[in-house]
Amino acid sequence: MAATLTKASEVLEVKAGEGVELSPTAALVAGVKPVAISATEGNNIEWGNWERAFLVIEHTTAAEKECEVTAGDSPPALRKGLGTLKVKMAEKTLQIILIESARHLSEGGLVKLKWTAGTTGKVSVVHIKRG
């Protein structure tokens, strides 16, 4: 089974100075297109023409888990030397992680996510519109 793919067309675009509303229950809201976390296969994000974006993770596991955003390929990821980004997620939280093409973009145009075994929840992507 292949990793779950979030297409660039499914990413929420936010203009500079705008925000994304989060519900009081720490759930994702309208406009964001979440996909299920695939702890066994990982998740891939089809990168659009952006420099940076945010992962919005609705972590529903009743235990601390970890998200890994793998280092990309150089080129195009000229900052891949910074390595894989590992973020610990407390149980049942909403996590926002900044990702960037210069560090995480693979040669195939994807950003690849890996999860600790047993991680559950949803992940979506929000990018900031230029200009």
67: confidence class by pLDDT, cuts 50, 70, 90: very high
Q: CATH assignment of 4-17+37-129?
A: 2.60.120
**For the ranges 17-26, 43-52, 110-119, which has the lowest average pLDDT?**
17-26
| C-alpha span between 75 and 32 (Å, rounded) | 30
Predicted confidence (pLDDT) at residue 129 exceeds the cutoff of 80: no
Q: What is the pLDDT of residue 39?
A: 96
Q: Which residues have a Cβ under 8 Å from the Cβ of 17 and sit 6 or more positions away? A: none
| C-alpha span between 71 and 84 (Å, rounded) | 5
DSSP letter for 2, please: P
18: confidence class by pLDDT, cuts 50, 70, 90: low
The mean pLDDT of 57-73, rounded to a whole number, is 93
Predicted confidence (pLDDT) at residue 57 exceeds the cutoff of 60: yes
Q: Domain map of the chain by residue range?
A: 4-17+37-129
* Mean pLDDT taken over the chain: 86
Q: Which residues have a Cβ under 8 Å from the Cβ of 76 and sit 6 or more positions away? A: 101, 102, 105, 107
Question: pLDDT tens across 95-112, in order?
Answer: 888 898 999 999 999 999
| C-alpha span between 108 and 14 (Å, rounded) | 25
